[in-house]
Amino acid sequence: MKAARAVLEYLKGQGVRHIFGIPAGSVNVLFDQLVEMPEITPVVTKHEGAASYMAAAYAKYSNQMSVVIGCSGPGGTNLVTGAANAMREHLPVLFLTGAVPVNTLGLNASQELNAEPVFRPVTKYSVMVRESKDLLAEVVKAVEIAISGVPGPVHVAMPIDVQQGEIDHPIIPAPPRRAPMVPELDVIKRVAEELAQREKGYIFAGQGVRGSVDQLLELGELLNWPILTSPQAKGFFPEEHPLSAGVFGFAGHEGASALINEGDGQALLIIGSSLGETATNNWNMNLTKNRFCVQMDFDETVFNRKYEIDIPVLGDINLSLMFLMEELKALGLPKAGAAALEKPQEYKVTEEYNTQNVLKTLQQHLPADTRYTVDIGEFMSYVIHYMKVLDYNTFDINVHFGAMGSGIGSAIGAKLADPDRPVACITGDGCFFMHGMEILTAKEYKLPILFVIMNNARLGMVYHGHELQYKRSHASFGQQPISIAAMAAAMDIPSLRVNELTDLSEDALRSLMNTGGPAVLEIALVDNNTPPMGDRVKFLSSFGK
């Protein structure tokens, strides 16, 4: 059996059903073996970077490891941004790259690159395999590292002759199982005692609560404390929940900021947030000021980075939450109900053709359980601030790493992982011109995704940032307007170009959502209003003063 086939058999046993990437000379052996393995579908993309975003989203929404592949040299370097993205999101993605034959290493072969050290800073493990007999064992080791402890991406470089080599009677190991990270019970008891002593407090949830939302809400109800989320955690639970206090951080809500800056909460329970820049409104020190702070995470490196934490709790978040609730109940909670949160008045759509009216109208006409994969641009702040959370796990927002174009690939990965759920990608013209050709990938695999492209013919986030900082912006930030709908039509993809709010009708959207494949909704709109970036506006406006 070829070494590459042994690897694929192992991945099949892992439950891998898709491999994202682009075939090329140094990975031809692996792609050739896939001809005989109908259980695994290669998703051939237009760019390796987009493939890496697809694999990351697939891992996120399938709750299993995913695989992406690129050729030696440029294929590998195109994957590096996606590896850094997966590392930031703690997603188990196996990055496989081809390499030139072992006997040509160091001889300046075509597309030669030593990818092992390139991937090392953005993965949990990176290795170059030099003998066929070692390839399967190294992939097995990498997979175990990817799913263990704090999950994350790993990388294996495979010279083409190593893939091609024959190995005798390989033993295909069983899939590894991740050992749970169990928090220390003594620590949990201390936390329960401290929180029970404090009548008022807040829960601040980050992206780490994904998969633990039910426990989060149960804990919130037990404590009767408002629950704020970071921008990345927007969409985990509906805003109608009586304890939902909105988003704190980049583009967050005034009510959430008021609780942090002016509220009388005596404690702050931080769950699954690394307390980075976008989650904390540029490291606002009011977050923890005069508050007893507990931080729960499975990544010990997040504790005491910027903020002093009174009790760090290391462990899987779902276990930490369950144990904490048991201890709180033993102490007599829940207590008497607190006053209901005062909810802000919801923004009402007006007739003005602006970004928030477009997004609100869009959401009114799409199914309530639509999952929105949100790209990087000025529209992102409008999504965070104005769009309503109607159902669980409905927003995929990647503001913390902020790779333009990632939302496009994420839509495809999300749809493949969860095919029964409607998916809409909200992106911009700048992002589209980076990775927009992946709409062809969606077409080729018959994926019904609505790609909503906010086209203002400029790099909007950059434009507004410069206008706030310097009161001017360079002319090169703009570009000649291009009809992206016409581009989509040329690819035989259904499309609609919207030039005014009345174009965005329910019938038009229903038509686009029922084509049996992808569709493009182009919003031609230049919105010169300052995006609702929250304290980021103040930061940029005062920059350098």
DSSP letters, 515-530, are SSS-EEEEEE----SP
Query: Residue 28's pLDDT band (boundaries 50, 70, 90)?
Result: very high
Please say if the pLDDT value at position 116 is more than 90: yes
CATH number at residue 104: 3.40.50.970
In the three-class reduction of DSSP (H, G, I as helix; E, B as strand; rest coil), residue 265 is classed as coil
The mean pLDDT value for 260-289 works out to: 95
Please say if the pLDDT value at position 339 is more than 60: no
Mean pLDDT across the chain: 93
Query: Residue 533's pLDDT band (boundaries 50, 70, 90)?
Result: confident
Same domain, 380 and 525: yes
The mean pLDDT value for 258-265 works out to: 95
Please say if the pLDDT value at position 262 is more than 90: yes
The pLDDT of residue 110: 85
Same domain, 86 and 211: no
The 10 Å Cβ neighbour count of residue 264 is 10
- Residue 307 belongs to some domain of the structure: yes
pLDDT tens for residues 356-409? 999 999 999 999 999 999 999 999 999 999 999 999 999 999 887 889 999 999
- DSSP-derived secondary structure for 477-496: GB-----HHHHHHHTT--EE
Same domain, 377 and 304: no
Per the structure block, which two tokens stand in for 538?
């103040």
Lowest mean pLDDT among 159-173, 330-344, 422-436: 330-344
The pLDDT of residue 22: 97
- Residue 230 belongs to some domain of the structure: yes
Q: Is the pTM of this model over 0.85?
A: yes
Please say if the pLDDT value at position 458 is more than 80: no
Beta-bridge mates of residue 95: 68, 155
Same domain, 413 and 507: yes
Same domain, 20 and 122: yes
The 10 Å Cβ neighbour count of residue 234 is 27
How far apart CA 20 and CA 52 sit, in angstroms, is 7
φ, ψ dihedrals at 403, nearest 5°: -85, 115
Same domain, 416 and 509: yes
Q: C-alpha 441: how far from its chain's center? A: 20
The mean pLDDT value for 329-357 works out to: 82
Dihedral of CA 372/515/414/430: which sign? negative
The pLDDT of residue 337: 58
pLDDT tens for residues 154-195? 999 999 999 999 999 899 999 999 999 999 999 999 999 999
Per the structure block, which two tokens stand in for 431?
């992002």
- Residue 337 belongs to some domain of the structure: no
Query: Residue 480's pLDDT band (boundaries 50, 70, 90)?
Result: confident
Which of 255-264's residues contact partners 24+ apart within 8 Å by CB, and which partners? 255/342, 255/343, 255/344, 256/228, 257/281, 257/534, 257/535, 259/202, 259/226, 259/228, 260/202, 260/228, 260/284, 260/286, 260/287, 261/286, 263/202, 264/200
The pLDDT of residue 340: 64
In the three-class reduction of DSSP (H, G, I as helix; E, B as strand; rest coil), residue 535 is classed as helix
The 10 Å Cβ neighbour count of residue 197 is 11
Token pair 């201890």: residue: 327
531 vs 467 pLDDT, higher one: 531
- Residue 346 belongs to some domain of the structure: no
Same domain, 276 and 395: no
The pLDDT of residue 400: 79
Q: What percentage of the chain exceeds 70 in pLDDT?
A: 96
CATH number at residue 269: 3.40.50.1220
The mean pLDDT value for 66-87 works out to: 97
Query: Residue 464's pLDDT band (boundaries 50, 70, 90)?
Result: low
Please say if the pLDDT value at position 114 is more than 90: yes
How far apart CA 521 and CA 92 sit, in angstroms, is 32
Per the structure block, which two tokens stand in for 162?
């190593």
Give residues with Cβ within 8 angstroms of 247, minimum separation 6: 228, 229, 230, 231, 234, 253, 256, 384, 385
- Residue 348 belongs to some domain of the structure: no
The pLDDT of residue 537: 54
Q: Which of 134, 164, 194 is the last residue of a domain?
A: 164
Give the amino acid at 109. A
- Residue 238 belongs to some domain of the structure: yes
Same domain, 76 and 194: no
Same domain, 108 and 23: yes
Same domain, 324 and 443: no
304 vs 460 pLDDT, higher one: 304
Q: Burial level of 515, CB count in 10 A (0-12/13-18/19+)?
A: middle
Number of structural domains in the chain: 3
Per the structure block, which two tokens stand in for 486?
């016409």
Q: Which of 132, 164, 196 is the last residue of a domain?
A: 164
Residue among 406, 455, 437, 420 at smallest CA distance from 47:
437
466 vs 377 pLDDT, higher one: 377
HSE of 497 in the Cβ direction (CA atoms, 13 Å)?
15
Please say if the pLDDT value at position 219 is more than 70: yes
Query: Residue 535's pLDDT band (boundaries 50, 70, 90)?
Result: low
Write b or e for each residue in 464-491: b if 16 or more Cβ atoms lie within 10 A of its Cβ, otherwise e: bbbbbbeeebeeebeeeeeebbebbeee
Dihedral of CA 536/539/544/545: which sign? positive
Same domain, 263 and 320: yes
The mean pLDDT value for 281-290 works out to: 94
The pLDDT of residue 544: 53
Q: Which of 129, 164, 199 is the last residue of a domain?
A: 164
The 10 Å Cβ neighbour count of residue 59 is 27
The 10 Å Cβ neighbour count of residue 92 is 25
Lowest mean pLDDT among 210-214, 245-249, 339-343, 353-357: 339-343
Query: Residue 200's pLDDT band (boundaries 50, 70, 90)?
Result: very high
Please say if the pLDDT value at position 12 is more than 80: yes
- Residue 178 belongs to some domain of the structure: no
Its domain, for residue 474, covers 355-541
Query: Residue 471's pLDDT band (boundaries 50, 70, 90)?
Result: confident
Same domain, 135 and 197: no
- Residue 515 belongs to some domain of the structure: yes
